[in-house]
Homo-oligomer: A and B are copies of this chain.
């Protein structure tokens, strides 16, 4: 995996940010001629996901001390934030908590997934979620409905899960078939089981001081968890979020703001994204444009969280393409203080956070701490 994340960004077209919303197509990239030195893995010792780690029965898996993580190499100064390892650690912590809850009050957290239609990618996602649930002891419920189902049928199943006490989280796999209104369907999910955290009421509570959302949307929550566990200080820091989608960019900005960063959102209408990004101690890139963020956009020592997962042509790969982030990793990793790779950075965190939200929901519903 390590080798596949490096690419030579110099030959990539630098897409203007305003083109970011056009339908994606793989840009052609040359492979990096020489592989860089092996990544140094960084996982901070303190687990921040669970409020009371001292209650856990076993210590977190692989960890490195923050002193160790401060080492700097001339060739590759950035510490690599290994999302795969952090996600594994989070899942292990969740498994411990799920077992503790079952032992204490006999309740097993439950996640219901509703899949409409037979898209191969959606089926894979749903299968992965199910597996991830099973691995940590969360019960999973699944409903598969045919492509031509009516909105009413989907909503009927949601209503049934809303009132089912063994279900603590409900997830409707997106995208839905075109004849359905996403908003109507997502709004049918009870706010106290909306583990995706996309309900406007939830987003409003996320935006407001003195209010807390029921759930933090999974991918932005994963970004914050990576920052926290890597020991990146947020309070008082300049943060730039590139992209303002409802599911990543906007909630990520609200979370950074809640954590007392000074936040700027860069988007398709921003005239000088590189200049603004260069001021940031923390960058979250979530715009969906391969290698948009170049090395000269990065402030030396900044922490870079790359949410983008973009396919680019790669004749040397068996699949003919490979995945790169929104950040030109090869360039940025020479300037940044810490950086997530793609794949293996934010990606694995999303499902881990979905499990965390489901556990959190079960704890809240059953008033279990």
Question: Is B245 in contact with A209, judged by CB distance below 8 angstroms?
Answer: yes
Question: Is B204 in contact with A207, judged by CB distance below 8 angstroms?
Answer: yes
Question: Is A254 in contact with B207, judged by CB distance below 8 angstroms?
Answer: yes
- Tally A residues with Cβ within 8 Å of B: 35
Q: Which of B209, B238, B250, B261 contacts A246 (CB 8 A)?
A: B209
Do A260 and B269 form a contact, CB below 8 Å, given A246-B208, A254-B207? Answer: yes
Question: Is A262 in contact with B264, judged by CB distance below 8 angstroms?
Answer: yes
Tell me how many chains of this kind the complex includes. Answer: 2
| Interface status of A42 (Cβ within 8 A of chain B) | no
Q: Which of B183, B244, B246 contacts A257 (CB 8 A)?
A: B244
| Interface status of A235 (Cβ within 8 A of chain B) | yes
Binds B, one of A51-59, A119-127, A195-203: A195-203
Q: Which residues of chain B come closer than 8 Å to A45, judged between CB atoms?
A: none
Residue from A210, A265, A266 having most chain B Cβ neighbours under 10 A = A265
Complex: A207 Cα to B220 Cα, angstroms: 15
Complex: A124 Cα to B201 Cα, angstroms: 33
Question: Is B265 in contact with A257, judged by CB distance below 8 angstroms?
Answer: yes
Min CB gap A251→B, angstroms: 8
Question: Is B254 in contact with A262, judged by CB distance below 8 angstroms?
Answer: no
Q: Which residues of chain B come closer than 8 Å to A200, judged between CB atoms?
A: 201, 204-205, 207-208, 211
Min CB gap A340→B, angstroms: 24
| Interface status of A99 (Cβ within 8 A of chain B) | no
Q: Which of B262, B266, B267 contacts A269 (CB 8 A)?
A: B262
Q: Which of A260-289 contact B (CB under 8 A)?
A: 260-267, 269-271, 276
Complex: A271 Cα to B262 Cα, angstroms: 9
Do A199 and B207 form a contact, CB below 8 Å, given A260-B269, A263-B265, A265-B262? Answer: no
| Interface status of A36 (Cβ within 8 A of chain B) | no
Q: Which residues of chain B come closer than 8 Å to A203, judged between CB atoms?
A: 203-204, 207-208
Q: Which residues of A contact B (CB under 8 A)?
A: 183, 199-211, 235-236, 238, 244-246, 250, 254, 257, 260-267, 269-271, 276
A sample of 6 cross-chain residue pairs with beta-carbon separation below 8 angstroms, ordered by A number, consists of A200-B204, A203-B203, A204-B204, A260-B269, A262-B267, A264-B264
